[in-house]
């Protein structure tokens, strides 16, 4: 079976936008409202002839206790178990937030390869903003703008190299 790439991160960092780029069509729901995507969404994608599945986990929110949030967390954890490579999306312009730290804690419990995708770096002159995210303790950090598509090639080269 094909390798599985899971896209995780707190709400509103751009997971669905990245997913849509990989899907090549608008399947996931993109909204300004945080956490709007409520379920895992699958697609198949390929990069340089290498095919793989992609799961948009819909966003990891911590701190609050309610049934829907528990459901989202469970879905995301299932996706992580199924995955071969994890794209941990963060907002490159905002810097590290407590939500990112919670997600990082969860991901450090898996032994899957993790790539931090510092998204929303729309201008090349802001590429240095991505370095801060090495503090989250993962080996790989890439700067991307999923809006413009810059950096996503490097993200995918790295992703398939980790299968
Ligand atoms: P999700 O909640 O993590 O799935 O985030 P979405 O993909 O729904 O994106 C949240 C918001 O960020 C939307 O308004 C997107 O248009 C915006 N966004 C996503 N990627 C980028 C990017 O690379 N640059 C900018 N400027 N905005 C982005
Ligand atoms: Mg989403």
Residue 153 has pLDDT above 80, yes or no: yes
Q: Is 58 annotated as a binding residue?
A: yes
Q: Is 16 annotated as a binding residue?
A: yes
Count of domains forming the chain: 1
CATH number, domain at 149?
3.40.50.300
Nearest 10 degrees: Cα torsion 12, 67, 101, 143:
-30
Residue 35 has pLDDT above 60, yes or no: no
**Does residue 75 have its Cβ closer than 6 Å to ligand 1?**
no
Phi, psi of 118 (to 5 degrees): -85, 95
Atom of ligand 1 nearest to the CA of 30: 8
Distances (CA, A) of 12 to 2, 49, 50, 53, 82: 28, 30, 29, 22, 23
CA distance 60 to 148: 24
Residues of the domain holding 41 = 4-161
Q: pLDDT-derived band of residue 57, with 50, 70 and 90 as boundaries?
A: confident
Name the one residue in this structure whose structure tokens are 């994890």.
86
User: Taking residues 76-104, what's their average pLDDT?
Assistant: 93
Name the one residue in this structure whose structure tokens are 């986990």.
57
Residue 155 has pLDDT above 80, yes or no: yes
Q: Give pLDDT tens digits for 101-142.
A: 999 999 999 989 999 999 999 999 999 999 999 999 999 999
Q: Give pLDDT tens digits for 74-84.
A: 777 888 888 99
What's the ipTM? 0.99
């Amino acid at each position: 079976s094909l390798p599985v790439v899971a896209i995780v991160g707190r709400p509103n960092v751009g997971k669905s936008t990245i997913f849509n780029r990989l899907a090549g069509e608008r399947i996931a729901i993109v909204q300004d409202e945080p956490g709007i995507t409520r379920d895992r969404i699958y697609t198949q994608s390929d990069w340089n002839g290498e095919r793989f599945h992609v799961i948009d986990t819909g966003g990891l929110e911590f701190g609050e206790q309610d049934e829907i949030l528990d459901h989202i967390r469970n879905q995301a954890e299932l996706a992580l178990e199924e995955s071969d490579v994890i794209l941990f999306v963060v907002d490159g312009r905002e810097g590290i937030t407590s939500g990112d730290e919670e997600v990082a804690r969860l991901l450090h419990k898996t032994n899957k390869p993790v790539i931090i995708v510092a998204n929303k770096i729309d201008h090349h002159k802001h590429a240095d903003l991505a370095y801060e995210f090495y503090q989250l303790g993962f080996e790989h950090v890439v700067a991307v703008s999923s809006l413009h598509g810059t950096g996503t090639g490097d993200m995918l080269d790295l992703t398939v190299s980790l299968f």
